[in-house]
Amino acid sequence: MEKVFINIPYKIVSKNIKRVLELDVGAEIYIENNLLDEISMDEAKELGKNLKECGIETTVHAPFMDLSPGGFDRAIKRVSIDRIKKAVDVAKNIDAKAIVCHPGYDKWRFDGNEQMWLESSIETWSEVLSHGGKEMEVLLENIFEETPSTFIALFGYFREKNLYFCFDTGHFNLFSKVDLEEWLLPLKDKIREMHIHDNHGKSDEHLPLGRGIFPFRELKSFIKNTTGIRFTTEFHSEKHALESIKNLKEFLR
């Protein structure tokens, strides 16, 4: 069975190491925007050392609020790049396997101009990948995208680079206008992670797998023929933690 990860805020990782170990999961550590300026690299290195000594595998989820890595405004994009690069530095010091980022495309904010977004994004992710080095995988997660077209174009440019896809089931459920296979099949060689949570198609509820309407049976058919994908359950309330982990582990059997 593939290793299950849980999304956990940076602030509470240290005091929950024992619990993470008992749950037999990896940790995807979420770094909130304003917290980024409070984290010292020595502190991140010490956290990474403690996690490694306990045998806990880690990834990092970068900040995303207000950032626009594919933006038109050069000053805003510069800030976005610098914030993501700083999150990459934290991830390196933690010795994380990968960092998950939001690519920032939204057809309403960009007036449907995918080409402008693509050209701007290529500049951003080229710089971030160079900063991350050969060992750090950079993963881009679907959010508001209605089709995979922007991902297909971007990954087509970075075909031989360390830029990969993180498929989010809940966001697909809310925003996709095409079937699941139209996302997964064209991007199958770039999928390195999946964020697993459920909803009823109205809001981003982050429910345990099976509590909403996402087509998990179709997803199961796809993943049974794949390898090398990390599965991270994203729950937003303590009451859903154990059920989310249990349901995902059963799903992956």
CATH number of the domain where residue 127 is located? 3.20.20.150
Q: What is the pLDDT of residue 15?
A: 97
Distance CA 36, CA 178 (A): 36
| Dist CA 192 CA 45 (whole Å) | 24
Residue 153 CA to residue 167 CA, distance in Å, equals 16
Q: Could you give the percent of the chain with pLDDT greater than 70?
A: 100
Whole-number average pLDDT of the chain: 97
Tokens of 176: 């996709």
- Residue 34, helix vs strand vs coil: helix
Binned at pLDDT 50, 70 and 90, residue 3 comes out as: confident
Tell me the residue range of the domain where 171 lies. Answer: 4-251
Residue 1 has pLDDT above 80, yes or no: no
For the record, the structure tokens of 29 come out as 């550590």
With 90 as the cut, is the pLDDT of residue 250 above it? yes
Q: How far apart are CA 29 and CA 6, in angstroms?
A: 8
Token pair 């859903």 is at which residue? 240
> What is the number of structural domains in the chain?
1
Distances (CA, A) of 122 to 125, 128, 141, 150, 153: 5, 10, 16, 11, 10
Q: Write out pLDDT tens, residues 132-163.
A: 999 999 999 999 999 999 999 999 999 999 99
